[in-house]
Every structure is written in structure tokens, then in C-alpha cells.
Structure 1
Amino acid sequence: MYSVVFQEICSRYGKTYSWDLKSLVMGKKALEAAQIVIDVLQLPMSKEELVEESQRKLQELFPTAELMPENSPEQEWGDFWAERTGCAVPENEGLELLPEAALGTRDVFKPAAFTLPDDAGRVYSSLPAPLSRSPPHAVQCLVFEDAPNGVEAALTAGMQVVMVPDENLSRDLTTKATVVLSSLQDLQPELFGLPAYE
């Protein structure tokens, strides 16, 4: 949905929001990402204007997002882990835009207690800022990522990273991850000392 919105805005100026550009901004805070887009594509607008317009469009688009079907492989995978270990989402900006149904219908993912809160008390910092090592058990986390910046943040904090990148992302940007998979279903959790996936 981010790609749809940014391409819509960029196309007005005859520009393309490519995967090369998207890979530079994945995981960044909104203003920082906007400035990168503006600089790379030489858009005639301020970063504040780009953020304001994209956020307005995202607020219209995000409520159309749907949960995965209850019987989907990804749903079963999430249920399996929720029953056996703690799960958290140390997410960057944007969660507040998602429809309530996408966040609150099931109590699988908890706010991440191991990220550094910003001055408003939210539990994210701009990636690739390292995820905090406090509390100490945080380094026992296994991180799942799709963004190169997120991989960098987790590795900096001493965590292992399973990367499931979009097929459009350059393979050169996946080399730092502990393991790279095409699907979460391909994970062998026992390799990380976790219960085998049933």
C-alpha cells in the first residue's frame, strides 16, 4: 500500500518509485524517508508536504486492509508461535493507521518491550537504529524482517535475523541476514533452539 501511494504521488511528476528507491527507505521514519525520495527523484515539494499527502492517502487506503484468512499458512504459523513463546512487533511508524481489526482482534503480537521508546512513549525508533539490549533477554530474540534496515538493527543488537524479503528486493540487500527464506513456512526453528514447527 505504501508503494501504491508513493507511486501515485511520484507519477504526477513523471517519476517512478522503484524497488531500488523503496529499499533505501524501508524502515525509516516518515520525514527521513520522504527526504530520500525527494532527493533521489528531485520532486518539487518539501518532505513535510510529501509526508502529509502520503499519510492522507494511506489513511484512506489502510482501512481496506484485510486480515489473512484464519486457515492461511501464515495465520497457522502465527498461532503456533503465539502459543509457545512471546511475540512482539517492534514496528516503525504507521501502525496507528491500520484498522482496529488488523491490530486488536487476536492477542498474538505484543508491543515490543525491547525497543527504545520515543519521547511520546511509543515503542519504536528509526531503523537501522539498533534494537535495545534492555531487558537482557532481548538478545534471545529471533527477529523476522523484510527490510534491510531492520536486519541491520537486529544484528547490531546481537540478535539473529530470519529475512523474508519481497521477491523484488535486490538479493544484494539480503546477504547480512542469518537466514533468508522465500516463505515463513520454510523456517526450521529447531536450528535456532526453538520448538519444531508442527
Structure 2
Amino acid sequence: MAYITHCIFDMDGLLLDTERVYTEVTQQILDKYANGVKFTWDVKSQLMGRSGDESARMVVDTYKLPMTIQEYLDMTAIIQEALFPKAKLMPGVEKLIKHLKQHDIPIAVATSSTRAKFELKTSLNKEIFDLFDVIICGDDPEIKNAKPSPDLFLAAQKHLGNPPAENCLVFEDAVNGIQAGLNAKMNVVWIPDENIKALTGEDTHGAHCVLNSMEDFSPEAFSLPPFNE
């Protein structure tokens, strides 16, 4: 297995349990404007990891909603503002982040979220996100393309001091994110939602390691200090 010196984390659905908020918000709008048609995982899985604008366009087009992309974004922003600050950490996150920090392993967040949405989502867990050395957001000036383009991970790599890509480990929950990590020539740990796993079967999408939860991650498998040290 690869010798890892730096770790880069996606956020939504990986560090924070925000994907259920996106589902809830989208369903509220479908209930109102699309006769309550169900927001299914085959559609949701295609949105994960994409920019807000791209996701909005796909929802409006897929469900033929009677609104513009901007109207959809404005509507979702109002509902998200109430729900995002309640987002909890995913299982195993606090333990791993504190462990890596304690052992001076440089860590970054690379999220498609805008900086404002990042602040909103992390407000309940600010002390954990303060441990990261670098935070890269989707609306940062250097990000030209959303995942599956590697821009977010390449920016994180640059701000971490340009370690070799083969020494970087990306943690992702979305297939778009795996592709972005691979496009950045990095190693990828995939921790998919069980609904996505059910959709994709045994396909690893090129990830070097697939886990059910961050609680199952073994640092020593990637030459990182083991938990008992």
C-alpha cells in the first residue's frame, strides 16, 4: 500500500452528515412543485460532489421543475440555512482527525461547497474543523472546475506545500470525488453511503480502498501512525 504523508478530505457525507439535509431540502421542493415525486438515489448519486449550480441544473432538468436554476438555488438556500447548522460529524471522524493532528500529519478539506455554506455547515463542529491545516472551497478563485475535475484536490495539495501526489490520500464518499482524486493522481479511500453501494454493486470505481465507515479506517495500512500510538 502507498506511503502516505498528507490526507485530504471531502466534507459532505464524509466528514459531516449533510447529505441527508440535501435530500430533505430537495424532497421539500419536489413535494411542492413536482407532485411529491421521490428524490431517488440514482439521481442523488449523480449530484454528489458537483458544484451547487451543476446540481441545481440537474434537479431542475430531471424533474422538469417550473423555475429557473437561480430560483431553485434561492429556494434551497432558505431551507438549508435552518438545517445545515445542525449537521453532525459522521462516525469515526473526530477520532481520526484528532489522531492525524496529534501525529503532525498535514490535513486539508477540499469541498465543492461555497465558503459561506462551509461556515454554515461546520458551525456546530468548529473545533474539529479548526484542526485542519488547509480548507479549500468550491468558490475559491483558483477552482475553475468542479469534481470530477481534480482542481479542488490539486489546490489542497498546493496549499499543503506540494507533496508528491502518490503520498496524498483522498477520503471521498462520492463517485465524482473518486474520479477527481484519481485525476489528481492521488490514492483514494471511498466511504460510500450504503444506498450508493447498492447502486454500484462491487464496482470500486478505481478507489484503492472501500470502507463502510471511517471507523473502519486503519492508518497503518497507509503507513500512517496506528491508533494505539
Aligned equivalent of 2:171: 144
1:80 and 2:99 aligned: yes
Counterpart-to-counterpart distance in 2, 1:3 and 1:110: 30
Q: Check whether the contact 1:151–1:163 (CA below 8 A) recurs between aligned residues.
A: yes
1:101 and 2:124 aligned: yes
- TM alignment of 1:3-152, pairs within 5 A: 3-12=23-32, 13-14=34-35, 15-66=37-88, 73-84=92-103, 85-93=105-113, 94-98=117-121, 100-104=123-127, 107-112=130-135, 118-119=140-141, 126-130=146-150, 131-132=153-154, 134=158, 135-137=161-163, 139=165, 140-152=167-179
**SS at 1:154 equivalent:** helix
CA shift in 2, pair 1:83/1:100, >3 Å:
same
**SS at 1:44 equivalent:** coil
- What's the TM-score, normalizing by structure 1? 0.84
Letter in 2 for 1:81: L
Divergent runs of 4+, >4 A = none
Higher relative contact order (CA 8 A, sep 6+): 2
Q: Check whether the contact 2:170–2:186 (CA below 8 A) recurs between aligned residues.
A: yes
- Percent identity reads 33
1:17 CA displacement: 1.2
Q: CA RMSD in A?
A: 2.5
1:124 CA displacement: 8.6
CA shift in 2, pair 1:125/1:87, >3 Å:
farther
- What's the TM-score, normalizing by structure 2? 0.74
Deviation by residue 1:36-85 (Cα, 9 ceiling, x = unmatched): 111111111111111111111100111223457xxx74322221112121
Q: Check whether the contact 1:92–1:124 (CA below 8 A) recurs between aligned residues.
A: no
Letter in 2 for 1:171: T
Among candidates 200, 203, 206, match of residue 171 of structure 1: 200
1:34 CA displacement: 0.5
Q: Check whether the contact 2:189–2:209 (CA below 8 A) recurs between aligned residues.
A: yes
